[in-house]
Structure 1
Amino acid sequence: MYHAETINNHTFRLRFLPSGIFDMGSNETKKAWGKESPIHKVELSPFFIGEYPVTQALWKAVMGADHNPSFFISDNRPVEHVSWIDIVEGHQDNDGPPAFLQQLNEWTKTSRPKGYAYRLPTEAEWEYAARGGEPYEYAGSDQLKEIGWCKGNSHGETKAVGLKRPNGLHLYDMSGNVKEWCMDKYSDSFYQECYDQGIVKDPLCDDKKTRPRVSRGGSLNSSPRHCRVSCRFDWDPASQNILVGFRLVLAPVQR
């Protein structure tokens, strides 16, 4: 099951993921530097998630044909060099462009399911989708070269989305190509807090003491250890980097 939208003659699709409980994180201290532990159980409500990272074609369809911040220019490559603020909050205070999500939700207000809106995935939703119900180290395989673009095979540039195999949920490029912004603030202690609760439902870290936001998935310049489905990164939300893009979620607005 999927949901499709067409904006300015550009069509994109999102896959439906049913509710479920999964083990989030990793206890592999040698690879994870302790940032991915403890493993804890998470229950998620249903949501839709993009088959691909947001492409430059989709970004331009929403933001305007002349507005493409990417370094590696091509409609079918992921948009990059976009900050968390560019996507979620926008720059209205200094006459900059509005947020991508604000624009997208305006374009789709009569076509998306009633009561649903587009947003970034939570960190838990992202990992649930990347794992795809499979026991692999990467999103769809234990062999990164089969499913992702990283430092060893990217030739130092992003690639068009969908060239590698998808994972078990038919999601592409979740390991490598570009890292992907998540909604959550980054906290080293959040996993322990979740673990202490038992099974936590729809977690979202909104720690008032910290500024960095989470990104996931590894990039064109990442080593294999950084492309693992459990690997976490912290980035300043104002950072614009050629290694970071994002993927869409469509979910009920109350979450």
Structure 2
Amino acid sequence: MAAAGIFRYKAEDSPFRNYVIGAGLRRNELYEQYGALSPAGLAVSLKHVLPAAPTTVETLAEAARVRSLRLVELIDFGKSDSGDLFLVTGPAEQTLRQRLAEGPMSAADGLALLSDLLRALKTLDGRTPPPLFISPDNVIVLPDGFRLDDHYLPAVFGSARPLPWSLITYAAPEADQDGADFRGSLYSVGAVVFEALTGRPPFTGTPFEVIAATRTKDPDLAPLPEGLRPLFAGLLARDREARYASPGAVLDLLAPAGPALPASGGAASVVNAGTAAAAGGAARAAAPAKAAAPEPSLVPLGQNEQGYEEFRREPDGAVMVKIPGGKVRLGSDSGSPRECPVIEVEIPAFLIDKQPVTWGPFLKSHQGHGAGSCAFCSRKAGFLPSAFLEAPSTPGKPTEIERTPALNAAVAPDHPVVGLTWLEAEAYVRSLGTELPSEAQWEAAYRAGSTGPYYWGDAADPECAWFAKNAAGATHPVGQRKPNGAGLLDMAGNVSEYCRDAFVEDYYARFARGQAGAVEMVAGAKGAGPAAPRAVRNGGWSMSEKSLTATFRVGYAPDQGSNVRGFRSVVGGGNAPAWAKGAFEGPA
């Protein structure tokens, strides 16, 4: 886009004249998009809708109120006096179109994409005029899955907006006709995922050829895995009456407890295992009941190879490493705004788990539980087959249900636990007498005295972490990569890790300006409210090398789990329980 085009955003009547406008990112029939910095210094995308839309503040306000992890958030919006419409969303990420340039997806990844897009549609059903504009260009690829961008545009344009030519390839036969409903959106989602799996859309050719084909014949499903063809027949049927009735109906099919689809070979387990169709919010929000357990205790193990004291926690047998107290350096001078700037805080000594919590001890703690005894067991069928807890747990040997699209991870005693919500992880560690680490504790433990972006140096090293380039699309047994300077395992990669803090995006900057306190940072008490997003540190098996640094931090809703997020626990930090006080007697 021409640089001259940027200057209209600086007009005195523009509601975004205080934004720092960067390079043009893309232009289509719907909008121009620019990289920008908000007045608070946060990286955002600024979209100028083409042409100026006859929308109302009320419709955009409703779009901005919609909250879902599967939707790109509409942060702000406004109209200039001249009628130009501006929309602000999160920073630009990789689009699905860019991802597919690398080649088609696996069946498991394709079903994860389908599940995420269906959850986005389910959120929007009844909120925006159908059908939605969906293509690989407005599906965003994020470390923890996929999000639907531009979901607010139907509210902006209303049903009178002509279907853009670039979206004809993914449009239902009836998309430009009166009476179109969300079954047209399901067709569009099916077409996008079809291309993700096969490398091409259901129909190709000129826009007129595609329109003629969609209205006269059903797509050829032969390029799909055999076990997925019945599913896509219900998404891509030419007659909308033959399609699934709603996004929820398809999610029910994908759920483990839903009806099994005919399949053969590897695709059968993919379809039947399904994806993470979450149980109701009430079940997710409820904390698991604390099981009766012996009083914890610590057994000193001496110093590890790195010179740090280790203790075995009984009765679960987890090893904890003592991180000395003192001044620690947090943050970065070169990362994203949420990681900057560098600050320094004083932190008391604490013990932290040597490795992330793994399936072996976690499932052992749930033996004997029935549905309703805790939140995890009540909703376990939401992301695991119903027989999972009854499956034998043999050390070093994966169970029969080794992988599912929902987890995309080997389920074995020595693999890290994934899929829990923050609420469930917090309840589990509290049942052990421990707690999730604060962000300050987590970063201090990661660094262990190092000062570079990674604990091992200045560049990503596959010998030190499992991430997108070497993990082969799954979690791995803990301890297979090099430990950090404190002897901690998997502090980088394999899984991201929950912290107990609420996520405050610009907390480091506030701290540097004297607008936020060290006590909250160290104690993990920053932020407020039970529904506030919770901090997650570092990257996991599906994430890029940039996520492996000491300072990478993001936030997610406490009642939403992910197949890439795990956790470990801590004690101490100035408030050690009685059973752990012995570890802190003497030098810090």
TM range (shorter): 0.7 to 0.9
Q: CA deviation at 1:253?
A: 7.5
Instruction: Tell me the residue number matched to 1:4.
Output: 312
Contact in 2 for aligned 1:42/1:203 (Cα 8 Å): no
Instruction: Tell me the residue number matched to 1:113.
Output: none
Instruction: Tell me the residue number matched to 1:115.
Output: none
Question: Which of residues 408, 428, 445 in structure 2 aligns to 1:129?
Answer: 445
Instruction: Tell me the C-alpha RMSD between the 2 structures.
Output: 2.3
Q: In the TM superposition, what are the counterparts of 1:1-255 in structure 2 within 5 Å?
A: 1-7=309-315, 11-28=317-334, 32-64=335-367, 71=407, 72-88=410-426, 99-105=427-433, 118-141=434-457, 142-197=459-514, 200-201=518-519, 202-208=522-528, 211-251=532-572, 254=575
For normalisation by structure 2, the TM-score amounts to 0.37
SS at match of 1:124: helix
Aligned mates of 1:76, 1:83 — CA distance in 2: 20
Contact in 1 for aligned 2:319/2:353 (Cα 8 Å): yes
SS at match of 2:456: coil
Contact in 1 for aligned 2:349/2:574 (Cα 8 Å): no
Q: 1:24 to 1:2 in 2, by over 3 A?
A: same
Counting matched residue pairs gives 228
Q: CA deviation at 1:208?
A: 2.6
SS at match of 2:441: helix
Contact in 1 for aligned 2:348/2:574 (Cα 8 Å): no
Quick one: which amino acid aligns to residue 424 of structure 2?
D
SS at match of 1:42: strand
Aligned mates of 1:227, 1:65 — CA distance in 2: 37
Contact in 2 for aligned 1:41/1:195 (Cα 8 Å): no
Higher relative contact order (CA 8 A, sep 6+): 1
SS at match of 1:161: coil
More strand by share: 1
Q: CA deviation at 1:101?
A: 2.5
Contact in 1 for aligned 2:325/2:348 (Cα 8 Å): yes
Aligned mates of 1:128, 1:252 — CA distance in 2: 12
Q: CA deviation at 1:87?
A: 1.9
Quick one: which amino acid aligns to residue 429 of structure 2?
L
Aligned mates of 1:136, 1:51 — CA distance in 2: 21
Q: CA deviation at 1:192?
A: 2.3
Contact in 2 for aligned 1:81/1:242 (Cα 8 Å): yes
Q: 1:64 to 1:196 in 2, by over 3 A?
A: farther
Q: Which has the larger radius of gyration?
A: 2
- Aligned-pair identity in percent equals 26
Deviations, residues 187-219 of structure 1 (Å, cap 9, x unaligned): 123112322349935253432377110001200
More helix by share: 2
Q: 1:40 to 1:253 in 2, by over 3 A?
A: closer
Deviations, residues 52-110 of structure 1 (Å, cap 9, x unaligned): 0111112123333776767330100000001111122xxxxxxxxxx2123222xxxxx
SS at match of 1:126: helix
